């Protein structure tokens, strides 16, 4: 996909994917090509974010799409540092040959993202107004999910990350965000190097109960 798309092409992209199919095939895409993403497409996926519900319809969100290479390098450096200390225990655990393959693959993809974050052409930060001095991150997650789904629809790869919060104040300052509008999540976005597919999820019948939870059936794994 090219960085140069006509307005008509941007308008048409993603408009035909059935909603439930899109939901079932949206997953963390962490291997991204460095090719640029048109601003008009960033606008389109953020517009999807603005259709999310929010308490009292306050719409507390801000979207900051970092496309400047120097800023992305700065963010990636902070992210990488925090990520590697966060993941260290899991890396140790994964040395066990019995460590589940699915978890290992997920971890390797997350490590790849951390080590290549500076190459992701868009670092999309979702920030929002605090309420009585407290961040309202829960108010931003519906918008974040809408954006992830919109990325899926238009063919962009994306994932939801929060590790940058370890350096949140410093990064927010660089983004021009004040303590009244802290960032909640950062979505690295770009054209996917791989393909979409159905993510591994628990079967619905394991987690759906009618009228009453059967306690013994609920497990943490
Ligand atoms: C609240 C939250 C925070 C997350 N933070 C990170 C993160 O900092 N870095 C990362 O690589 N993935 C992060 N993820 C993505 C999850 O690891 C990912 O959704 C999960 O492994 C499922 O991946 P899949 O959709 O490819 O199956 C986060 C997800 C959520 C919901």
Q: What is the CA(184)–ligand 1 centre distance, in A?
A: 13
pTM (2 d.p.): 0.96
Ligand 1 neighbour 162 (Cβ under 6 A) = yes
pLDDT tier at 55, thresholds 50, 70, 90: very high
Q: Per-domain residue ranges for the chain?
A: 7-217
159 lines ligand 1 (CB under 6 A): yes
What is the model's pLDDT at position 184? 97
Q: What is the pLDDT of residues 40-53, one digit of tens each?
A: 999 999 999 999 99
The pair of structure tokens assigned to 36 is 């640029």
Residues 6+ apart with CB under 8 A from 152: 14, 17, 22, 25, 26, 158, 196
Euclidean distance between CA atoms 170 and 159, whole angstroms: 22
At 4, the pLDDT band (50, 70, 90 cuts) reads confident
Mean pLDDT (the chain, rounded): 95
pLDDT tens digits, residue range 64-95?
999 999 999 999 999 999 999 999 998 899 89
**148 HSE (CA, 13 A, CB side):** 23
Q: Which residue has the tokens 């660089």?
A: 174
CATH 3.40.109.10 fits 7-217, yes or no: yes
Q: Kindly state the average pLDDT of the residues 4-11.
A: 91
Question: Burial code of 84-111, b = ≥16 C-beta within 10 A, e = fewer?
Answer: eeebeeeeeeeeeeeeeeeeeebbebbb
Decide whether any atom of ligand 1 lies within 6 Å of the 181 Cβ: no
Strand partners, 32: 192
**Residue in 108, 144, 159, 200 to alter for ligand 1 test, most ligand atoms within 8 A of Cβ:** 159
182-205: per-residue pLDDT in tens?
999 999 999 999 889 999 999 999
User: Which single residue is written with the structure tokens 């291997």?
Assistant: 31
Mutation choice for ligand 1 from 28, 31, 78, 139, CB with most ligand atoms inside 8 A: 28
Q: What is the pLDDT of residues 131-158, one digit of tens each?
A: 999 999 999 999 999 999 999 999 999 9
């Amino acid at each position: 996909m090219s960085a140069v798309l006509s307005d008509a092409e941007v308008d048409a992209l993603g408009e035909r994917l059935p909603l439930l199919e899109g939901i079932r095939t949206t997953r963390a895409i962490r291997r991204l090509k460095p090719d640029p993403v048109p601003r008009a497409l960033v606008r389109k996926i953020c517009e999807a974010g603005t259709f999310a519900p929010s308490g009292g319809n306050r719409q507390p969100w801000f979207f900051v799409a970092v496309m400047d290479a120097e800023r992305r390098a700065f963010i990636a450096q902070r992210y990488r540092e925090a990520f590697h200390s966060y993941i260290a225990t899991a890396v140790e655990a994964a040395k066990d040959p019995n460590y589940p393959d699915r978890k290992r693959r997920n971890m390797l993809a997350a490590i790849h993202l951390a080590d290549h974050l500076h190459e992701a052409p868009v670092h999309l930060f979702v920030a929002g107004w605090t309420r009585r001095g407290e961040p309202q991150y829960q108010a931003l997650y519906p918008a974040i999910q809408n954006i992830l789904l919109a990325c899926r629809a238009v063919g962009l790869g994306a994932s939801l990350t929060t590790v940058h919060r370890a350096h949140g104040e410093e990064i927010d300052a660089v983004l021009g965000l004040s303590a009244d509008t802290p960032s909640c999540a950062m979505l690295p976005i770009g054209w996917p190097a791989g393909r979409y597919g159905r993510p591994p999820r628990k079967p619905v019948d394991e987690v759906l109960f009618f009228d009453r939870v059967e306690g013994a059936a609920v497990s943490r794994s």
